[in-house]
């Protein structure tokens, strides 16, 4: 039976690779969508349809013929500023700021040193749990999780005489299948998903609020759910490791190559000095942010009597400041930074990784701008909502939620990259599901996306690091193939998908706030 399953998964992996490689890059998809939408507006220009407004009243909408001169002028007048750099109140700029700040911490070596420091002192009995937890929290800097924690986990298990693939599988599950969870608020994932959810909602008149009408903060709208998920997934992953993965791998042999050394990932003296300095940086950052919280950014009431919370409204900048300060303290103490110019170069290196996002957002946001302005986006939402209502799903919001999770999980097998998938799915499902049932608020739909996008990362060959992880594991088991990797990680993926979706349903059904 095991041989049949392995053969099936090898075939499945090849099928996913073939399909995935034939799907164009999301940038190309949006490049094709734009002229297609333009032609559709030309054919349907003047067509009217009726939707339901926020107050329950009937609203008549129409599709604009975009070939007319005034609409063509709108396209050119808004392409650079309003429909790209200024779209959604500057989504691109917010994403860039967070990434630059994380870049200082990452390129200083702080995040890698933390993983080494914590990982090398894990007691044997706690290894699966703590490797899962470290993997999940390392998602704030994905490269460190994949390239340092996973091989380190293998070495830790070699050191106690056990199959290194046990630790590597647990770490891989944490880093990748638990990618969206974290205890740190305002991570790049939070910002990318949250800011764009607001764009998708507001572009079609969907209120960016909770079901109770409370305004959402993009960077923290999922925090309670994501923080809870971190604990739940760490415990779940540890259980899967001990229940399914460890018993299986303990029955298999492994090699320890001569070039593998247990002390390979030990901290250097410079890194130890950097971590001590980072502790002081943590204190300085906390004092600065605390001073802002009780000083110029303290709560106040505006002229209308509304309570304003400047610190929370600017939490993205506070978190960015934290990463820069702590990362700089580590970098100068460890000598990875010698001048302020080195800090700047760390930001530049991180900015270089943002090139694809800039290209993607240019075409995506201009396409969304066209959909919103022409009325075609509202019409697509109207058609999709009518189809779901015809099936009676408006009475079962939990089914809508689970259906979206399963749809995203399936698509994730063929299209890699959280940002590109969210750009493709978010503009459709955020307004559509809300139109079907107003309980399907933007934060709930976005949380469902994050659950599904992460859970199936470890069982798709389209995940960017799958080949790297396979190469790491082949050092200990040279004959290991992609199908073997998928078979090893399948229990994590399936259990995570079930447990994480169930947790989201519990939050939804119990009315527990997803964030703040």
pLDDT tens-digit series, residues 230-254 = 999 999 999 999 999 999 999 888 9
Tell me which residue range forms the domain holding 228: 2-510
Residues 461 and 470: beta-carbon distance below 8 Å: no
Residue 253 is assigned to a structural domain of this protein: yes
pLDDT class for 56, splitting at 50, 70, 90? low
- How many CA atoms lie within 13 Å of 33's alpha carbon, on the beta-carbon side? 22
Residue 30 is assigned to a structural domain of this protein: yes
Taking only the tens place, the pLDDT of each residue in 114-159 is 888 887 778 888 999 999 999 999 878 767 788 888 988 998 898 8
pLDDT value of residue 171: 96
Whether the pLDDT of residue 256 is over 90: the answer is: no
Residue 438 is assigned to a structural domain of this protein: yes
Eight-class DSSP state of 209:
B
**Mean pLDDT computed over every residue of the chain:** 90
Compute the distance between CA of residue 312 and CA of residue 220 in angstroms, rounded to an integer. Answer: 9
pTM: predicted TM-score of the whole model, two decimal places: 0.84
Q: Using the structure block, give the residue that is written with the tokens 């960016």.
A: 208
Q: Taking CA 510 as the corner, what is the angle to CA 508 and CA 516, rounded to the nearest 5 degrees?
A: 65
Average pLDDT of the residues in 64-73: 96
Q: Which two tokens stand for residue 68?
A: 């007319």
Q: Which two tokens stand for residue 73?
A: 């002028």
The radius of gyration of the chain from alpha carbons, rounded to an integer in Å, stands at 24
Whether the pLDDT of residue 50 is over 50: the answer is: yes
Residue 381 is assigned to a structural domain of this protein: yes
Whether the pLDDT of residue 13 is over 90: the answer is: no
b/e map 428-462, b = 16+ CB within 10 Å = ebbbbbbbbbebbbbbbbbbbbbbbbbbbbbbbbb
Compute the distance between CA of residue 199 and CA of residue 369 in angstroms, rounded to an integer. Answer: 10
Residue 383 is assigned to a structural domain of this protein: yes
Mutual angle of helices 150-159 and 110-119, in 10-degree steps: 20
Compute the distance between CA of residue 130 and CA of residue 115 in angstroms, rounded to an integer. Answer: 11
Number of domains in the chain: 1
Strand, coil or helix: 128: helix
Eight-class DSSP state of 308:
E
Residue 515 is assigned to a structural domain of this protein: no
Q: How far is C-alpha 31 from the geometric centre of its chain's CA atoms?
A: 24
From 7, 6, 150, 153, select the one nearest 465 (Cα to Cα): 150
pLDDT class for 55, splitting at 50, 70, 90? low
Burial class of residue 49 in the structure, from the number of CB atoms within 10 Å of its CB (0-12 exposed, 13-18 middle, 19+ buried): middle
């Amino acid at each position: 039976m095991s041989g049949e399953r392995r053969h099936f998964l090898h075939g499945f992996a090849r099928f996913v690779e073939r399909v995935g490689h034939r799907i164009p890059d999301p940038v190309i998809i949006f490049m094709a969508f734009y002229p297609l939408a333009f032609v559709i507006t030309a054919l349907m220009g003047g067509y009217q349809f009726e939707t339901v407004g926020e107050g329950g009243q009937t609203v008549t909408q129409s599709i604009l013929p975009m070939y007319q001169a005034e609409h063509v002028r709108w396209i050119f007048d808004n392409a650079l500023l309003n429909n790209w750099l200024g779209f959604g109140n500057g989504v691109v700029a917010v994403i860039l700021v967070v990434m630059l700040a994380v870049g200082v911490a990452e390129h200083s070596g702080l995040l890698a040193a933390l993983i080494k420091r914590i990982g090398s002192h894990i007691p044997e009995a706690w290894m699966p749990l703590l490797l899962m937890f470290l993997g999940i929290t390392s998602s704030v800097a994905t490269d460190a999780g994949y390239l340092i924690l996973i091989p380190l986990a293998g070495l830790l298990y070699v050191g106690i005489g056990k199959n290194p693939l046990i630790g590597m599988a647990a770490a891989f599950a944490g880093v990748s299948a638990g990618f969206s969870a974290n205890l740190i608020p305002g991570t790049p994932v939070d910002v990318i998903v949250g800011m764009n959810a607001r764009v998708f909602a507001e572009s079609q008149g969907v209120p960016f609020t909770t079901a109770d009408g409370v305004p959402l903060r993009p960077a923290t709208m999922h925090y309670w759910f994501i923080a809870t998920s971190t604990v739940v997934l760490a415990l779940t992953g540890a259980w899967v490791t001990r229940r399914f993965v460890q018993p299986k791998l303990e029955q298999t042999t492994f090699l320890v190559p001569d070039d593998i050394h247990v002390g390979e990932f030990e901290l250097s003296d410079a890194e130890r000095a950097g971590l001590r300095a980072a502790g002081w940086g943590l204190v300085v950052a906390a004092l600065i942010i605390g001073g802002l919280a009780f000083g110029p950014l303290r709560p106040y009431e505006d002229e209308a009597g509304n309570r304003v919370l400047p610190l929370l409204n600017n939490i993205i900048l506070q978190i960015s400041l934290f990463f820069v300060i702590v990362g700089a303290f580590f970098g100068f103490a460890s000598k990875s930074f010698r001048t302020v110019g080195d800090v700047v170069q760390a930001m530049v290196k991180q900015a270089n990784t943002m090139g694809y996002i800039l290209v993607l957002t240019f075409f995506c946001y201009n396409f969304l701008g066209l959909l919103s302005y022409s009325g075609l986006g509202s019409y697509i939402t109207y058609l999709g909502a009518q189809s779901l209502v015809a099936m009676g799903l408006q009475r079962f919001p939990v089914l809508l939620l689970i259906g979206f999770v399963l749809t995203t999980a399936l698509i994730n097998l063929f299209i890699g990259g959280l940002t590109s998938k969210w750009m493709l799915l978010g503009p459709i499902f955020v307004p559509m599901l809300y139109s079907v049932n107003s309980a399907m608020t933007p934060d709930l739909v976005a949380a469902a996306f994050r659950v599904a996008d992460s859970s199936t990362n470890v069982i798709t060959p389209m995940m960017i690091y799958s080949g790297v992880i396979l190469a790491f594991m082949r050092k200990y088991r040279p004959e290991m193939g992609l199908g073997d990797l998928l078979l090893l990680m399948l229990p994590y993926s399936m259990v995570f998908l079930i447990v994480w979706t169930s947790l989201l349903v519990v939050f939804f059904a119990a009315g527990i706030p997803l964030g703040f």
